[in-house]
Amino acid sequence: QMKKKSPKEKQMKKKSPKENQKKKAADQSYTKEVVEEEDASKSAPPQTSDGKGDTTTELGTQSNGARSEHGISGLGVSRELTINPIPSTSGQVQGPHDTAPAIDVMLNREMLKETDEYKKAQEEEWESRQQQLQLQAEEAQRQRKRRKLENMRQLEVERRQKERVEEVRETQKKDEESMNLKEKVRAEITKSLKILELKCINMASLLRGLGITVGGGTSPPPNEVHAAYKRAVLKFHPDRASRGDIKLQVEAEEKFKLIARMKDKFLS
């Protein structure tokens, strides 16, 4: 047989649906407050220990106050909200809208390149560079011509110097050969004239030995000897002798010396 329920149990059974509704309403209110507190904590900057207290402590206090107001503390359930603030390294959170100025600058640059003023400036810059390149090319060409002329002039000077040296060497060689030949011829002529000088007893005999005609017979007068002397001087003068024949030149020089020496001897 089933036991009959007491009036207290019936009364508690009747009251339980109301208590459940109150409990459910309190839970919903608490959940809404927790969500609002989380949103507020996300939007508000974290507070540091500067004398105002810790954020976690304040939120915990508010949560306890809310639970005490709605009767949640009577249920024996302790719920606390702990939020750990994340410090920002840059001090500011960069949003997606911060890249907009950079994009605008890039777009402005691209749009500037399409303008007529930009194209005209580019064309002027290109023309200026072409002119500079042209001037540099012309200057380089002038320098190459100048160097070429200087090299040609230097080569011409060196060629002339070389020719001059060769001419001097040839002249020295010819002079040495001529001197050697003159010394050889001079020795022969001096030997024959020495013999003639030893045979002559006066100026007339000397002049006749040299091939000069002296008038007046075997004993010519002084005027005839003097006239014959003048003719001999003109004939054997070194400046009147032939420059092409070395033998005749040396013979004239030696006979002129002999006449001058014998004049001092016989006509003094």
pLDDT for 118-167, tens place per residue? 888 889 999 999 999 999 999 999 999 999 999 999 999 999 999 999 99
Percentage of the chain surpassing pLDDT 90?
20
In this prediction, residue 66 carries a pLDDT of 41
Rounded Cα distance between 250 and 242, Å, is 10
Q: For residue 54, how many C-alpha atoms fall within 13 Å in the half-sphere facing its CB? A: 8
In this prediction, residue 216 carries a pLDDT of 76
pLDDT-derived band at 199 (thresholds 50, 70, 90) equals confident
What is the DSSP secondary structure assignment for residue 210, as one 8-state letter? T
Judge whether 247 and 185 are in contact, CB under 8 Å.
yes
What is the per-residue pLDDT across 34-88, written as a single tens digit (0 to 9) for each? 666 666 665 554 444 444 444 444 434 444 444 444 443 443 434 444 444 444 4
pLDDT at residue 2 tops 70: no
| Cα dist from 9 to 2, 12, 19, 31, 106, whole Å | 15, 5, 15, 32, 80
Nearest to 189, CA basis, from 265, 248, 262: 248
**Least reliable range by pLDDT among 11-25, 116-130, 231-245, 250-264:** 11-25
pTM over 0.85: no
Report which listed range, 70-74, 185-189, 198-202, is most confident: 185-189
In this prediction, residue 71 carries a pLDDT of 42
In this prediction, residue 124 carries a pLDDT of 92
Rounded Cα distance between 197 and 179, Å, is 25
In this prediction, residue 212 carries a pLDDT of 87
In this prediction, residue 163 carries a pLDDT of 96
pLDDT-derived band at 26 (thresholds 50, 70, 90) equals low
In this prediction, residue 72 carries a pLDDT of 38
Domain boundaries, the chain: 11-44+55-75, 102-191, 200-266
| Token code pair at residue 44 | 């508000």
pLDDT-derived band at 113 (thresholds 50, 70, 90) equals confident
Q: How distant is the alpha carbon of residue 192 from its chain centre?
A: 82
Judge whether 232 and 205 are in contact, CB under 8 Å.
no
